[in-house]
Amino acid sequence: MLERREFIKLLLQGIAAGNLLSFVTPRIKPALAAGEVQRTPVLMIETGSCTGDSVSLWHSWNPDFRYIISNVLEWRFDTTLMQSGGSKAFDLLMDTYEKDAYRYILIVQGSMVQRDNGNYNFIAYQEKESKYLNGLELVKLLAARAKYIVAIGTCATHGGPPSGYPNPSQSVGVQKILRDRKIINVTGCPAHADWTMGTLLHLALYGEPELDSFNRPKMFYGETIHDRCERRRFYDQGIFAVDVGQKECLYRVGCKGPVTFADCPVRFWHDRKNWPVSCNSPCIGCTEPSFPDTMSPFTASLPDIPFPGGTKVSTEVVGLSIFGASALAIIGHGVASLYNGRLQRNVLQSTTKGPHRYPVKKASAFHQYTLKSYTPGKNSSNKSAQPPN
């Protein structure tokens, strides 16, 4: 059987050269043939969502994907994909619930709509009891016997766009309604197919992967976008785009890469063709718990730069404090540039009046609260999150 370490290696190899599953599948086939791997049933429920995570998953729809979902996993129920519906589909769900208790993985795609006890989000019909079940009820029911619960997409992990201010549906992430269970959070708007499939494979073959403080698998969310961005050299030299669509660092037109953890710059999207910054659009921080409220307006620059150790400094004064020790702490990676003078020259140019002044769009008071003060799921009820009158 493929060792876990090797699996992680293949996962990284996939980053450099192609589809994750095409690297992993040939390596686990012998173990499957020898009966060393038991198939893990999967139930995929969709609640308050746009189906984006399914669409993203279908981008990896290839022979290897089909092989994995029918040999390593057993994709038993999928609200979006199934041909059957109504009570037949529901019976299948309950069959797994009864006969495969504590063996199946429950995947939830979409936010937990809480308003009026969840009754704006009916997703199943229990014929025997002539009862409609809403997202809250069905997720709570199935979670009770799930071995693992995986929330995919930022709606399911932290409420996502449906929970954005003023959150009329009172949406939250799954972890807010299942407080006594560990939820593995595969964030993203949507979640990348590799993040979802890699997490499921890890669960089926090796158990729980290493998680970060937001319960995201570290193998995908271990570094910031900024750490691996192809435009980092521009940032280090203080060369910033003044409009979306330009080729320089997109920090001043709203890039949230410095505070966003994901491997998009190396994994790429759309069958490894592109990713947001590469097509001249700022990262909007879609994998972070505070998305979208603290990440918008998407073209407003970050209100603060987080320093190692928790202190923050306004981006507007980066140029002015560039000679201070604090600036060295913020942009430790830019020290070399400091020595040769490019960084200070370019940043100063961008913060003083003149033909080269960059039009920094200030975040509104609504967006002044920082990622640090954000409490997942409380963004819409948090008093500090109220917009100014």
Residues 243-262: x/- map of binding to ligand F3S (CB under 6 A)?
Answer: -----------------x-x
Closest to ligand SF4 by CB, 209 or 276 = 276
Q: Which does 258 bind (CB under 5 to 8 A by kind): ligand F3S, ligand SF4, none?
A: ligand SF4
Residues 186-225: x/- map of binding to ligand F3S (CB under 6 A)?
Answer: ---------------------------------------x
Closest to ligand F3S by CB, 54 or 114 = 54
Residues 176-215: x/- map of binding to ligand SF4 (CB under 6 A)?
Answer: ----------------------------------------
Q: Establish if 275 lies at the interface with ligand F3S (CB under 6 A).
A: yes
Specify the stretch interacting with ligand SF4 by CB under 6 A; choose among 76-84, 167-175, 249-257, 333-341. Answer: 249-257
CA count, 13 A, side-chain hemisphere, 68:
27
Q: Which residues contact 33 (CB under 8 A, 6 or more apart)?
A: none
Q: Which two tokens stand for residue 162?
A: 């449906």
Q: Which does 231 bind (CB under 5 to 8 A by kind): ligand F3S, ligand SF4, none?
A: ligand SF4
Closest to ligand F3S by CB, 176 or 231 = 231
Q: Establish if 258 lies at the interface with ligand SF4 (CB under 6 A).
A: yes
Q: Which two tokens stand for residue 242?
A: 């003044």
Q: Establish if 284 lies at the interface with ligand F3S (CB under 6 A).
A: yes
Among 10, 229, 318, 322, binds ligand SF4 (CB under 6 A): 229
First to last CA, the chain: 61
Per rule CB under 6 A, count of chain residues that contact ligand SF4: 14
Binding site for ligand F3S (CB under 6 A): 225, 260, 262, 264, 275-276, 283-287
Binding site for ligand SF4 (CB under 6 A): 225-226, 229, 231-232, 235, 249-251, 255, 257-258, 277, 283
